[in-house]
Amino acid sequence: MWWPRRRHDATTSRIERAEATRTRPEPGNGRKPARWVPEVSQPGIVAERRTAGGDADPRAPLAELYAALDSGPDGLATAEARSRLTGYGRNELRRQRRRGWWRELGRQVVHPLALLLWVAAALAWVAGTPLLAGAILVVIALNALFASVQERQAERAVEALTRYLPRQARVRRDGRWQEIPAAELVPGDILAVCEGDRISADARLVDGSVEVDLSALTGESQPVYRSADAPSAAGGPTEAANLVFSGTNCLGGEARALVHATGMGTELGRIAALSQRVGREESPLEKQVRRVAWLIAAVAVGAGLVFFPIGVLAAGMPIGDAFAFAIGLLVANVPEGLLPTITLALAVGVRGLARVGAVVKRLSAVETLGSTDVICTDKTGTLTENRMRVVAVRAADTLRDPAPGPGERPDPALCALAVAVAACNNADPDAGDPTEVAPLRLAADLGVTDAGHPGRRTQYPFDPKLRLMSTVDERDGRLSLHTKGAPEEVLARCTRVLAPDGGDRPLDEAYRTELAAAVTAQAEQGRRVLGVARRPLDGVPERRAEAERDLTFLGFVAMVDPPRPEVPEAVARCHTAGIRIIMVTGDHGRTAAAIARQVGIVRGEPTVVTGDQLDAMSPDRLRHLLGERREVVFARVSPEAKLHIAEALRANHEVVAMTGDGVNDAPALRRADIGVAMGRTGTDVTREAATMVLTDDNFATIVAAVAAGRRVYDNVRKFILYIFAHATPEVVPFLIFALSAGAVPLPLTVLQILAIDLGTETLPALALGREPAEPGLMDRPPRRRSDKVVNAPMLARAWGFLGLISAALVMAGFFAVLLRAGWRPGAPTGPGTPLHDAYREATTMTFLGIVSCQVGTAFAARTEHASLRSVGVFSNRLLLWGIAFEIAFAALIVGVPPAQDVFGTRPPEPVMLALLLAFPPIVWGADELRRAARRHYKHSLI
């Protein structure tokens, strides 16, 4: 029995439930068949149960099951299916409700870094400074609010990806096979299950047999055989040999199945209901940043601890003041907002990638993408358009043009070839695998069709390892085998060859050599060649190997598949970015080399390594070969070989992106750092195994994703730089105060520090996370895996350069105000003294100075190497808004009387305010010069 194969276009799995499926269920599913419906304790889901899946026992005799589900071998009518959909609900796993706002906030409030702040607030309270204690509470609250908003946005961004990967299912409705969204499956539907499908509902096989991977349900990774003919056995449902389950993968075979449970009524739904959502794993970047955050927190605590004795003993501060100050210093420098900001930056990166056609399934992938060293790519469909057109045909002895001349009648040899390719074919003239569509159209042009394959008795589907496909067909009462596939494989199984008159003759060595040369001549032009053969049969052979032998060679077709127009440029971008591209294909070596040259992957004659050579190679030898960085192309390789290539590259410490589309590619995709699946032509199984799914199957999209990964990583570094830079101008004033033993009064009050930390920094920092890509992003080699986000040069730039310049400017402003008012070192400035107003103005000047310098720093931080002009001064709108907010906030604190009382501010004179205007250009300008010098220096070195 044969029925239409599901076409894999625009079909994909859903990401969201991947989390649920990854958890192992409780062992022992030993429920009795009668109690098929599991009890579920969550109230929200119990209500759903009634509707989800019907109470039919899937292990009842088939006829009973059909009756119970009110269905039959021809499935449902669309109208009936629609009304069932309303009754049973959509075939989706309902997620556990999100954490409520309050719980989310609560989680942020007890976050470890927040706990540190709580301790500080308690200490401030105990020390008798309730104002400070209150301010710290405000810091905690604002931060928690901010963090939860960011996390929620990040979660949304990831959830929104589901939209890009709708899953399809092939069902029989109204007596026809139709592709429908998997979410619309209902009990009673007849579902087609093919190799590479992810099964979307629980179903009883009614026809055919499949091999399935049940690991999502049982944790057992050994594939199992499930067949319509298997008896219903007792035991857990997953042991029944004629049932298949939602969330599991079909690894081989074909079957039809009667859906008996959908949505939360499935076994998978039961597991999803029992196990709460698994927490999101932390990416390496987030881990590093968390470590850095703790390090800085420790430094902040240390600074506070050191300040206290110095303030009291050396500068003679009252104990209470010194204590309050120490606490303020600590609170200001604990980087509690850093982590959610990074999570959000990654999530925004993920969302951006989805828009360009790369759906990433883990936040951490964005980061890994940025460090990609090697891209191993398929040829067909990824580098090329996968639009095949037959350009030459050889039947019997003659090579000819595929288009028949006017009035020309095809000769018997050409007719025989046309019959074979039309029969041995699973495509339609306008849909299906292009490698099959093209020969099908050729046959149609020659007047040969085989629509619906009424005579087909069996098929041996295309096997990427054998590189062959065959069918057994009955025509005019005679049975024959039709085979097409890679010419070497077909020829190796041929013993005879078709003669021009339609008869046949033995295939001798000389003719074999001539044919091989003719194939090579086609392949050298980058053409894909399919050999075609046939054999008369008496009956349907038991095994494939028995069928595919003693064939008669009919000829071959040669097809062109043009490279995608955007690929050569993407390849060139990879090369300037120091990323290697290795083509790994099942196609002929010459074809592969020609295409590789056409798109610029190789320049000269590459080393072609065939699958057989690869299999004979030791892992060390392969590692060595790949380490030499020669131009190599892997051709005629099996999907398993991809796994070895990925392993060898990883053993060489390279970050590998690997594409794939077939079921057998899944292990290699898992093994690579970034497994890339095809959204259109790929199978559900590869999409499941992949880290990234290309919705357009396009190689150029991989490169765009790498660029995006680099950009996101850079931006994370930009805002860390910006946040770190203010530490120096905040700490230097205290050093001066301490070192002068109090002769210089404290240049900044506690609350002013907190205002900088919280009020003015956050928005510009966030905006830096959205910076456009810096020019030269793809002109530098990939970052090494071992590189740290926060490294010595960055700290030197933040603290030693930007920070120090800011500190100098800020202190200059502070002293300018004091000295103008007649202050001399040691003069008293406390409340009630004549200089007190001037002192308040001076501290305000310090505060405003830091804010102005941070404006300059924000512009400087926008690029790491390039000039600001090259990215455009006004190109980051968000940053401009952030800075506007920063200025408005500072003006509020300085200019509004109630705020003046709280923060101890007093507006400085206009001439001083004018001085502040010079700060940003100085800070930014200094860094601009530094960058220019670095660029120049680097160039002169090379």
Q: Which residues bind ligand ADP (CB under 6 A)?
A: 378-380, 433, 435-436, 462, 464, 467, 469, 484-486, 528, 530, 585-588
450 vs 587 by CB, closer to ligand ADP: 587
526 vs 586 by CB, closer to ligand ADP: 586
Piece of 108-116, 261-269, 373-381, 637-645 that binds Mg ion (CB under 5 A): 373-381
Q: Point out the residue whose Cβ comes nearest to Mg ion.
A: 380
Piece of 372-380, 499-507, 566-574, 825-833 that binds Mg ion (CB under 5 A): 372-380
Q: 417 Cβ partners below 8 Å, 6+ apart? A: 393, 395, 532, 554, 555, 557
Distance CA 863, CA 715 (A): 9
Instruction: Considering only CA atoms, give the Rg of the chain.
Output: 35
- Give the residue carrying structure tokens 């020669």: 630
246 vs 386 by CB, closer to Mg ion: 386
Q: 661 Cβ partners below 8 Å, 6+ apart? A: 378, 381, 677, 678, 681, 682, 683, 686
The DSSP bridge pattern shows strands 468-475 and 478-485 to be antiparallel
669 HSE (CA, 13 A, CB side): 25
Beta strands per DSSP E along 275-368: 358-360
As measured in angstroms, the least distance from the Cβ of 491 to Mg ion is 21
For Mg ion, the binding residues in 380-439 under the rule CB under 5 A are: 380
As measured in angstroms, the least distance from the Cβ of 379 to ligand ADP is 5
As measured in angstroms, the least distance from the Cβ of 789 to ligand ADP is 37
* Residue of 202, 213, 373, 378 marked active site: 378
- Give the residue carrying structure tokens 């097409």: 484
Query: Considering CB distances under 5 to 8 angstroms, the limit depending on partner class, which of ligand ADP, Mg ion, none binds residue 237?
Result: none
As measured in angstroms, the least distance from the Cβ of 784 to ligand ADP is 31
552 vs 659 by CB, closer to Mg ion: 659
Name the nearest CA neighbour of 524 among 626, 596, 599: 596
Q: Identify whether 378 is a catalytic site residue.
A: yes
Which contacts of 306-314 are long-range, i.e. CB under 8 A and separated by 24 or more positions? Answer: 307/734, 307/738, 310/738, 311/737, 311/738, 314/738, 314/741, 314/742
As measured in angstroms, the least distance from the Cβ of 522 to ligand ADP is 11
Which class for 275: exposed (0-12), middle (13-18), buried (19 or more C-beta within 10 A)? Answer: middle
* CA dihedral over 765, 770, 774, 779, signed as positive or negative: positive
As measured in angstroms, the least distance from the Cβ of 435 to Mg ion is 7
As measured in angstroms, the least distance from the Cβ of 634 to ligand ADP is 10
Which class for 561: exposed (0-12), middle (13-18), buried (19 or more C-beta within 10 A)? Answer: buried
198 vs 467 by CB, closer to ligand ADP: 467
As measured in angstroms, the least distance from the Cβ of 465 to Mg ion is 13
Name the nearest CA neighbour of 858 among 885, 892, 891: 885
Name the nearest CA neighbour of 555 among 693, 392, 706, 320: 392
Q: 422 Cβ partners below 8 Å, 6+ apart? A: 439, 440, 443, 444, 448, 449, 450
* CA dihedral over 194, 197, 199, 200, signed as positive or negative: negative
As measured in angstroms, the least distance from the Cβ of 645 to ligand ADP is 13
Name the nearest CA neighbour of 652 among 677, 618, 627, 625: 627
184 vs 433 by CB, closer to ligand ADP: 433
262 vs 664 by CB, closer to Mg ion: 664
436 vs 714 by CB, closer to Mg ion: 436
Angle formed at CA 700 by CA 695 and CA 705, multiple of 5 degrees: 70
- The CA-based dihedral angle spanning residues 483, 488, 492, 496, taken in that order and rounded to the nearest 10 degrees: 70
Name the nearest CA neighbour of 483 among 531, 543, 522: 531
Beta strands per DSSP E along 803-875: none
Please work out the total of residues on this chain that contact Mg ion, with binding judged by CB under 5 A.
Answer: 1
133 vs 420 by CB, closer to ligand ADP: 420
Piece of 34-42, 307-315, 377-385, 787-795 that binds Mg ion (CB under 5 A): 377-385
Query: Considering CB distances under 5 to 8 angstroms, the limit depending on partner class, which of Mg ion, ligand ADP, none binds residue 674?
Result: none
As measured in angstroms, the least distance from the Cβ of 11 to ligand ADP is 18
- The end-to-end CA distance of the chain, in Å, is 69
Give bridge partners of residue 481 from the DSSP assignment.
472, 535
Q: Point out the residue whose Cβ comes nearest to ligand ADP.
A: 586
What are the Cα distances from residue 77, in Å, to 81, 183, 260? 6, 17, 16
264 vs 533 by CB, closer to ligand ADP: 533
Q: Is the CB of residue 646 less than 8 Å from the CB of residue 691?
A: no
Query: Considering CB distances under 5 to 8 angstroms, the limit depending on partner class, which of ligand ADP, Mg ion, none binds residue 469?
Result: ligand ADP
Query: Considering CB distances under 5 to 8 angstroms, the limit depending on partner class, which of ligand ADP, Mg ion, none binds residue 89?
Result: none
Q: At what angle do helices 699-725 and 727-739 cross, to 10 degrees?
A: 20
Catalytic residues: 378
Residues found near Mg ion in the complex (CB under 5 A): 380
